[in-house]
Amino acid sequence: MGGKTFFLAGFVLCLGFGWAAFPRLLYRTAPQPVQFSHKVHTSSAGMKCEDCHSVLADGRFSGIPAVEKCAGCHASPAGSTKDEKLMVEQYITPAKPIPWLVYAKQPDHVYFSHATHVTLAKLSCEGCHGDHGKTGALRRFEYDPITGYSRDLGEPRLLRIGGGGAARPMRMDDCDACHRRNNVQTGCLDCHK
């Protein structure tokens, strides 16, 4: 076995480490405050996406509904699961916002308008959020402890072996590339207000 073999061995080892082990070592997971099934709400409960996620008359986008909205059906536990009980007792009854960990949360210095992208540009929800709206349970929330950002912002697919995640990354370069592809002019102040 000469130097070439050792070179190849080192090459393959690190290649494997970098693709398989590094993401597992890098990202941390955090539990969502309660479990939630989009599938149950859109199938058994017969709700539409717009019932909770809609562009309001004044142009604002209502992303995550307020607990008052949830209280419409869940003023008392609507089932016998542990999460249902937890949600009613800890959040709905005291009217306390549920501290969801938002997969697509942008940093504070970034302004993103759903209304512009959904109403004006007619982008589909799935185009960015993937099949999130059809899932039976919330997937693990993963974040990068170095930056503090959600994993979905940067590497929803690239470093995720066998996981779900967003349909496309949501970094500034990704916004810029999409705008260029669609011939949409942008300036700094469009997103950094």
Partner 1 sequence: MNLGRRRWLGLAAGAAAGTLFTPAPWKLIGDSALWSQNWSRIPKLPTGEFNVKYGVCTLCPAGCGIKARCAGDQVFGLTGVPGHPISRGKLCPLGVGAHQLPYHPHRFAGSVARQADGRYLPAELERVAATLRARIASRKSGEAVAVLDERPGRAISYQYRRFTGGLEDGLYLVPPAGEGATLAALSAQSERGASFGFRIGEARAAVSFGAPLLDGWGVPAEVNEARYRSQRPLRIIQAETRQSPTASLADVWLPIRPASETALALAIAHVLIRDGRAPAAVIERMSDGAEYRELVMRYSPEQASRECNIPAAAIEQAARMLADNTPAVAIGGGDAGGGPAGAGAETAIASLNMLLGAMGTVIVGKHELPVPDSWSSPPLSPERRIDSDVPDGSISMLILGDSPSGDALPWPLIERKLAPDHVIVSLSPYAETAARRAHFVIPAPAFMESFEESPGSAVSANPSWAIAQPLVRAPSLAVHPLTFLARLGAAESSIEDLLRQRLEELHKLGKGEIFTPAGTRPIGEFKDAKELWTAMTGGGVWTDSPVLEAARPRRFGVREIASAPARTGRAEFPIMLLPYARRGEAGTTALPPLMSKVYQESRLRLSAPLLRVHPATAAASGVADGASVRVEMRGEGYAGNIAVDASVMPGVIEAPAGPMAALCVNEDCSWRVSPARIKRIS
Per CB under 8 A, residues contacting partner 1 are 1-15, 17-19, 22-23, 26, 58, 97, 108, 111, 144, 146-149, 154-155, 158-159, 188-189, 193
Instruction: Find how far residue 48's CA is from the centre of its chain.
Output: 19
Helix (H) or strand (E) holding 177: helix 172-181
CB of 113 to partner 1, least distance (A): 12
User: Do 27 and 144 contact (CB within 8 A), yes or no?
Assistant: yes
Taking the complex as a whole, the smallest distance from the CB of residue 142 to partner 1 amounts, in Å, to 13
Residue 156: count other Cβ atoms within 10 Å of its Cβ: 24
Residue type, 25: L
- Closest CB 39 distance from partner 1, rounded Å: 29
Strand, coil or helix: what is 40? Answer: helix
Residue 94 or 148: the one with the smaller Cβ distance to partner 1 is: 148
- Give whichever of 17 and 85 is closer to partner 1, judged by the CB atom: 17
Q: Which is nearer to partner 1, 10 or 72 (CB)?
A: 10
